[in-house]
């Protein structure tokens, strides 16, 4: 296995998971997860449905708690709970398959809510920041509409802008294009590529292998709650080590 962190001396990891194990009742969903991510790294996580990909990334902002092991984000120990959870959530943005925008709020209000509530930002500044990111995802003209008036691709770009308004250090994506009509996938991937080019640290659960090839520094393959292998994309796609990886790639490529 390649460890991109230890091979980059002097760069402390921004995410460090050590010996992480998690159960849902008696069902073990994550087994002995060790994962370090350095600032600016782009990670793609893939694997069969039910392998624990969503659970793994949801542990990084404590949407899920773990029973064993240690998770640190930017030096903050998440497994200690309490205030640390709020501190980490402020640093980690998340984009979901189903967008999760607030339907009763306008696009602009969706983007200003968290900065005003949890960062104590004034409305004028929050709106300025929101317009900056809505412009960056190329939909400033939609600011005063409601989510239901936008296409799926536009809603997902709003979800990305909304996360960016909190100035996160890490962005987590959980199958951000899986719920989109095919013609809208590219506009969302293009937004993610632009974010990667800006140097954002990104963990993306996705089966968009074109994106993985062109953007990822490292591709991680999960099966049955374990990280089975990880490698830079050329190596991962060119020479997969595990039979399960080969089977998976055979099905999706
Ligand atoms: P993936 O994202 O790779 O499809 P998930 O992390 O969503 O996998 O789920 C991994 C396994 O954990 C699946 O078997 C799923 O049914 C189970 N699981 C997920 N969430 C829960 C939950 N809240 N309670 C019980 N089991 C769950
Ligand atoms: Mg999932």
Per-residue model confidence as pLDDT tens digits over 69-102: 999 999 999 988 778 888 888 899 999 999 999 9
Residue 118 or 50, more confident = 50
Nearest-Å Rg of the Cα atoms of the chain is 18
Ligand located closest to 220 CA: 1
Per-residue model confidence as pLDDT tens digits over 189-245: 999 999 999 999 999 999 999 999 999 999 999 999 999 999 999 999 999 999 999
Closest residue CA from atom 21 of ligand 1:
24
- Looking at residue 8, its pLDDT comes to 53
Q: How many angstroms does the Cα of residue 51 sit away from the middle of ligand 1? A: 7
Q: How far apart are CA 83 and CA 162, in angstroms?
A: 23
Per-residue model confidence as pLDDT tens digits over 96-132: 999 999 999 999 999 999 999 989 999 999 999 999 9
Residue 90 or 246, more confident = 246
Q: How far apart are CA 191 and CA 176, in angstroms?
A: 11
Q: How far apart are CA 242 and CA 253, in angstroms?
A: 16
- Looking at residue 58, its pLDDT comes to 97
Which residues does residue 72 pair with via DSSP β-bridges, in sequence order?
16, 77
* ipTM of the complex in this document: 0.98
The two tokens of residue 2 are: 């390649």
Closest residue CA from atom 25 of ligand 1:
24
- Looking at residue 215, its pLDDT comes to 97
Residue to mutate (ligand 1; options 23, 24, 179; most atoms within 8 A of CB): 24
- Looking at residue 85, its pLDDT comes to 87
Where do the DSSP E strands lie in the chain? Answer: 13-24, 27-38, 42-46, 68-73, 76-77, 92-95, 170-174, 201-205, 218-223, 226-231
Per-residue model confidence as pLDDT tens digits over 137-156: 999 999 999 999 999 999 99
Q: Which long-range contacts (CB under 8 A, 24 or more apart) does 207-214 make?
A: 207/46, 207/175, 207/178, 207/252, 208/177, 209/46, 209/237, 209/249, 209/252, 209/253, 211/44, 212/44, 212/46, 212/236, 212/237, 213/237
User: Does residue 3 carry a pLDDT above 60?
Assistant: no
- Looking at residue 247, its pLDDT comes to 96
CB of 221 closer than 8 Å to CB of 207: no
């Amino acid at each position: 296995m390649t460890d991109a962190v230890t091979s980059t001396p002097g760069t402390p990891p921004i995410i460090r998971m050590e010996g992480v194990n998690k159960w849902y009742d008696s069902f073990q969903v994550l087994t002995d997860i060790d994962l370090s991510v350095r600032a600016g790294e782009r990670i793609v996580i893939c694997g069969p449905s039910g392998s624990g990909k969503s659970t793994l990334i949801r542990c990084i902002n404590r949407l899920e708690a773990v029973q064993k092991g240690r998770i640190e984000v930017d030096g903050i120990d998440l497994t200690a709970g309490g205030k640390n959870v709020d501190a980490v959530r402020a640093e980690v943005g998340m984009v979901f398959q189903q967008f999760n925008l607030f339907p009763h709020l306008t696009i602009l209000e969706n983007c200003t809510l968290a900065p005003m509530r949890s960062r104590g930002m004034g409305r004028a500044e929050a709106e300025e920041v929101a317009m900056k990111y809505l412009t960056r995802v190329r939909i400033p003209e939609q600011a005063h509409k409601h989510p239901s008036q936008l296409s799926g691709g536009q809603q997902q770009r709003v979800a990305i802008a909304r996360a960016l308004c909190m100035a996160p250090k890490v962005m987590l994506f959980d199958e951000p294009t899986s719920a989109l009509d095919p013609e809208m996938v590219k506009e969302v991937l293009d937004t993610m590529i632009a974010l990667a080019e800006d140097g954002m640290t990104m963990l993306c659960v996705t089966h968009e292998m074109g994106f993985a090839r062109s953007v990822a520094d490292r591709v991680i393959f999960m099966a049955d709650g374990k990280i089975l292998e990880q490698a830079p994309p050329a190596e991962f796609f060119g020479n997969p080590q595990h039979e399960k990886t080969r089977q998976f790639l055979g099905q999706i490529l």
